[in-house]
Amino acid sequence: MIRFNVPPFTGHEMEYIKQAVENQKICGDGEFTAKCNSWLENKTGSKKALLTTSCTHATELAAILADIKPGDEVIMPSYTFVSTADAFVLRGASAVFVDIRPDTMNIDENLIEAAVTEKTKAIVPVHYAGVSCEMDKIMEIAGKYNLKVIEDAAQGIMSTYKGKALGTFGEFGCFSFHETKNFSMGEGGALLIRDEENIENAEIVREKGTNRAKFFRGQIDKYTWVDKGSSYLPSELNAAYLYAQLELADEITKDRMDTWNHYYKGLEGLKDAGKIELPFIPSHCEHNAHMFYIKAHDLEERSKLISFLKENDILSVFHYVPLHSAPAGLKFGRFSGEDKYTTKESERLVRLPLYYGLKEEQTEYIIGKVKEFYA
Ligand SMILES: *Cc1c(COP(=O)(O)O)cnc(C)c1O
């Protein structure tokens, strides 16, 4: 059976976890967390990166820092993971869903302005499959209406828009290191902070509302409760696992990219024949091979394809059920404008196995079976 995902493992994880244990420092913000934070800052050019317990938590942290309140509205796509909405709904805000572009599956930047009301506080672009949203246009609208931008870059590590790292455009950027993402720590994530003035508050909220980070830097001689907060820092054991992956980030990305390109070349004939659609990468976007998907003609054809692949020992999966049609989506959100593509395109999309270490002959086998299905 070819699995859909296998968590990334480079070989150095156990050694680093052992080191963390031997350091007798297994709670948060030790040596490995610091190394991961620096790596993220160097890689993205962000002023500050903080590891968190998940991308969901990074987004919650961002929502607290952005002072999202009951009654506020937050603009986002409906075609996304629940966490994108949850983080804001938890603060009492409602989600305003905007349709996606069928080519990238990202929020349609040209429909955002029509969704802005006097209650709108933030825009949350989701960089689907590690392919950037149209950030120039989104930042322009945010500037015009004085809105915060919080990027759900859960899938976007190593990706860029016009040469700039995803997660660094808005006030806050959120990464995920869940086991299904390119680099992993089991459960975990990171928050990127763009503006100097938000760094200290971020450290406080992440550390139960205390100024403990300042204390550890020797800037104050005792720490205390200074604001509301929670516990968003991961254990060193998780950070040690992640650091082993970050060190080999280029190798992991190259391996994934080879598979992605292999799929694309192998399935291009079916695309040209009009049988399926393949991912679209705008020329000014550099992606990270987070995902390889194809689009079948419709829901029925997709179900048959998934079953056919399963009969042939290949696990392929569909993705998000649009949030606006989910029970909580109906309660906590509304769709702005017409759902022209969100539902239709989400019903056609199927993701093929893609993970670090997937072998070339396996990719070849999968390509062969997709072709066989469409023959
Ligand atoms: C994975 C993912 C998340 C959630 O990440 P966690 O680290 O599991 O909390 C949020 N948004 C998107 C778009 C994701 O793909």
**105 within a domain of the structure (yes/no):** yes
Q: Which segments of the chain have a pLDDT < 50?
A: none
Same domain for 37 and 93, yes or no, is yes
pLDDT for residue 159: 98
* Measured distance CA(247)–CA(151) in Å, rounded: 24
pLDDT for residue 350: 98
CB of 132 closer than 8 Å to CB of 158 = no
Q: For 48-94, write each residue's pLDDT tens digit.
A: 999 999 999 999 999 999 999 999 999 999 999 999 999 999 999 99
Q: For 116-165, write each residue's pLDDT tens digit.
A: 999 999 999 999 999 999 999 999 999 999 999 999 999 999 999 999 99
Pick the atom of ligand 1 nearest to 127's CA: 13
CATH number of the domain residue 334 falls in: 3.90.1150.10
The Å distance, Cα 153 to ligand 1 centre, comes to: 8
The Å distance, Cα 231 to ligand 1 centre, comes to: 18
Torsion sign over Cα 253, 259, 260, 261: positive
The Å distance, Cα 207 to ligand 1 centre, comes to: 22
User: Which residue type does 156 have?
Assistant: G
State the residue range of the domain holding 357.
Answer: 249-374
Same domain for 47 and 116, yes or no, is yes
The Å distance, Cα 126 to ligand 1 centre, comes to: 10
Same domain for 146 and 179, yes or no, is yes
Pick the atom of ligand 1 nearest to 83's CA: 10
pLDDT for residue 7: 96
Q: Say how many domains are in the chain.
A: 2
Pick the atom of ligand 1 nearest to 180's CA: 1
pLDDT for residue 125: 98
pLDDT for residue 235: 98
- Residue where a domain terminates, one of 193, 221, 246: 246
* Measured distance CA(159)–CA(130) in Å, rounded: 6
The Å distance, Cα 81 to ligand 1 centre, comes to: 6
User: Which residues are near ligand 1 (CB < 6 Å)?
Assistant: 54-56, 80-81, 83-84, 126, 152, 154-155, 176, 178, 189
The CA angle 66-70-75, to the nearest 5 degrees, is 60
Q: Is 279 exposed, middle or buried, given 0-12, 13-18 or 19+ CB atoms closer than 10 A?
A: buried
CB of 60 closer than 8 Å to CB of 87 = yes
Half-sphere exposure of 198 (CA within 13 A, CB side): 22
Same domain for 241 and 253, yes or no, is no
Residue nearest atom 6 of ligand 1, based on CA coordinates: 55
**292 within a domain of the structure (yes/no):** yes
Same domain for 238 and 297, yes or no, is no
SS3 content of the chain, % helix, strand, coil (to 5): 40, 15, 40
pLDDT for residue 245: 97
Helix (H) or strand (E) holding 135: helix 135-145
- Residue where a domain terminates, one of 209, 228, 246: 246
- Residue where a domain terminates, one of 246, 266, 287: 246
* Measured distance CA(86)–CA(38) in Å, rounded: 29
CATH number of the domain residue 54 falls in: 3.40.640.10
Same domain for 66 and 154, yes or no, is yes
Q: What is the pTM of this model?
A: 0.98
Same domain for 189 and 287, yes or no, is no
| Tokens describing residue 320 | 């998000």
pLDDT for residue 201: 97
Residue nearest atom 2 of ligand 1, based on CA coordinates: 154
- Select from 51, 152, 288, 319 the residue to mutate for testing ligand 1; criterion: most ligand atoms less than 8 Å from CB: 152
How far apart, in Å, are the Cα atoms of 115 and each of 218, 261, 285, 341? 47, 37, 25, 16
